[in-house]
Amino acid sequence: MGAADRVRAYYDALRAGEALGPFFARDEDVVKVGISERLVGGEEVADGLREQTETTTGWQVESSDLRVTERDRHAWFADRVSLSWTDTERQIRYEFDTRWSGTLERRDGAEDADDETPDERWLFVGMHVSTARDLG
């Protein structure tokens, strides 16, 4: 699986309500910026994604311009994504046109992944999701 496939697999997992933490390295300097939060460190990212999965449903993720550049051990990506979900605690449906960018690193044996399959070797070490308007 290449880096582009890994990004698409993340989108698929988000749609399916599956665990997202295994897509990220567990390093202390990993950063994930979302529309309304900034998570720093592998543990905080994993916790934040776990909470997101537990409190949201009905994810729609429509990629429209995925661009991935892959090198031997690193890759970077950018995309435009129509994104929507329901907050199950507040019973609010959110819809955004978002911009995604990030960096992945190829890890031998996926030492940071929860599942040490060859498909788990590309791990996000940084991700940024933004929109032109606030979550409100």
> Nearest to residue 67, comparing CAs of 24, 34, 38, 99?
99
Q: What is the mean pLDDT of the chain?
A: 91
Render pLDDT for 11-29 as a digit per residue (tens, 0 to 9). Answer: 999 999 999 999 999 999 9
State the pLDDT at residue 109.
Answer: 64
- Over range 87-115, report the average pLDDT: 84
Residue 136: inside a domain:
no
Residue 45: inside a domain:
yes
List the domain range (segments joined by +) for residue 45.
Answer: 3-131
User: What confidence tier does 89 reach under pLDDT thresholds 50, 70, 90?
Assistant: very high
pTM over 0.95: no
* d(C-alpha 30, C-alpha 12), whole Å: 22
State the pLDDT at residue 95.
Answer: 95
State the pLDDT at residue 130.
Answer: 95
Render pLDDT for 29-44 as a digit per residue (tens, 0 to 9). Answer: 999 999 999 999 999 9
pLDDT at 96 over 80: yes
| CATH assignment of the domain containing 113 | 3.10.450.50
pLDDT at 80 over 60: yes
Residue 38: inside a domain:
yes
Say how many domains are in the chain: 1
Q: Report how many helices (DSSP H) and strands (DSSP E) the chain contains, helices first.
A: 2, 7
